[in-house]
Structure formats: structure tokens, C-alpha cells
A and B are shown apart, each in its own frame.
Chain A
Amino acid sequence: GQQVMQIPQYQHVQEGEDFTTYCNSSTTLSNIQWYKQRPGGHPVFLIQLVKSGEVKKQKRLTFQFGEAKKNSSLHITATQTTDVGTYFCAHPGNTNAGKSTFGDGTTLTVKP
């Protein structure tokens, strides 16, 4: 299936700094999803992007889908300790089963 690669694997920031994680594919993606997993918790859906060049915002989080639909990014402005966790991108496969391929995730730690 289609692979999605995430970078960086880990990111340590000081509270108040910005954070960005990137998701890249070698092939065109129909859409891209983002999930957040708190330490010890389970993944929780954040958002889905469908259109080329799409930008969506959720408070301090900004999600972008590339013009070529081969990459996506999640940017957090002025991180807070509540932002800690692992952020995954995911791409639903080409079947109609809704089966998604997940990236390996970016783990964010925030130093107060």
C-alpha cells in the first residue's frame, strides 16, 4: 500500500515555541488524516484534508495539504504542555474498506 513518511521522529521544544511535523508520500494521496495520541492513551482523530492546497485551523493547530497532494504538515503555534504526545498522519487506502496506513508519528515533548 501507499507509504507515508513522517519527520521528525522526535521533537523537544520549550513551552511557547512553535512545532511542525511533516508527512510525505511518493505518490498522490486522495486525502490525509491527522491523529494525536497522548502518552499512555489511544489515537484520537484531529482532522482530514481532502483538497489540493487545503489549509485548516483548529485554535493553535494549522494543517496543510500540499498542492500536489503528496505532503502535509501540522504546525502548532506557541506550544503548551497539553500539546505533548505523538502526532500521526494517516492515509486511507485505495480499497473501500477504509483501511488507513499510518505514519510512524512525531513525538512532541514540551519543557515548561
Chain B
Amino acid sequence: NAGVTQTPKFQVLKTGQSMTLQCAQDMNHNSMYWYRQDPGMGLRLIYYSASEGTTDKGEVPNGYNVSRLNKREFSLRLESAAPSQTSVYFCASSFLRGSYEQYFGPGTRLTVT
């Protein structure tokens, strides 16, 4: 099992450019999440998807959109990147019930200039 995979690993954008971060999991998890982590900071939830076909806003959704393409895949889109979106983005997944233990991907390091 690959667990949670994310692409790309690194990305540099100019202000105003758009891009999509891809995430996939092969653990048959129901729930998937997108977080951002700024230097020296904790994890802030951007969006989550409790199950296929549903998405909900987290703590910091502004400037982002998501798509739960199927049970395996959950993408995050930046329509018009801003320097404030420079961060490390982590995708995670978990079962809907039980311990809710989250499995994280390796992260995407995004710089917006």
C-alpha cells in the first residue's frame, strides 16, 4: 500500500496563477482532509470531505476549492494564488468511525512569489 500520496512535492507559482494539488489514498478511507502548515505553526484545516460526494469548509477555506473526485482522490485548487498561500500543504485521510486516526501524505511545499 502506498498510503496517502500527493503531487507535486514542490511548486513555485507567481501571484495570480492557478494550480491543483492532487491527493490519493489506497486505504479505503471515507474521510479526506486538506491542511496547511505555516513555518513554526500547527495544522490548519482548509477543507474536508466526510465521504465521497460531500465537502465542507474547515478553518481557513478562503482562496481554495476542493473536489472529491471519487473515494480515493481529493484535490485542492488555488484559483488565483497569493503570497499568503505560501505554505506546506498536507492531505490526510481516515475512517469515518472508530479512532479517526489520520494518515498524512508527504506534503506539497508551495511558494507563491
Contact = CB atoms under 8 A, between A and B. Distances in A.
Interface of A: 33, 35, 41-45, 48, 88, 90, 92, 95-105, 107
A42 B94 contact: no
Given A35-B102, A101-B45, A102-B43, 9 more contacts: A41-B106, A42-B104, A43-B102, A90-B102, A96-B50, A97-B48, A99-B31, A99-B45, A107-B40
Given A42-B90, A42-B107, A92-B100, A98 B43 contact: no
27 contacts: A33-B100, A33-B101, A41-B106, A42-B90, A42-B104, A42-B105, A42-B107, A43-B92, A45-B101, A48-B101, A90-B102, A97-B48, A97-B50, A97-B56, A98-B31, A98-B50, A98-B95, A98-B96, A98-B102, A99-B31, A99-B33, A99-B50, A101-B45, A102-B43, A103-B42, A104-B42, A105-B42
A103 B100 CA distance: 16
A44 B31 contact: no
Q: Mostly helix, strand, loop or mixed at chain B's interface? A: loop
Contacts of B31: 97-99
Given A42-B90, A43-B90, A100 B100 contact: yes
- Interface residues on chain B, size class: 20 to 34
Nearest to A86: B42
A27 B96 CA distance: 23
B64 interface: no
Contacts of B107: 42
Nearest to B92: A43
Contacts of B96: 96-98
A45 B93 CA distance: 12
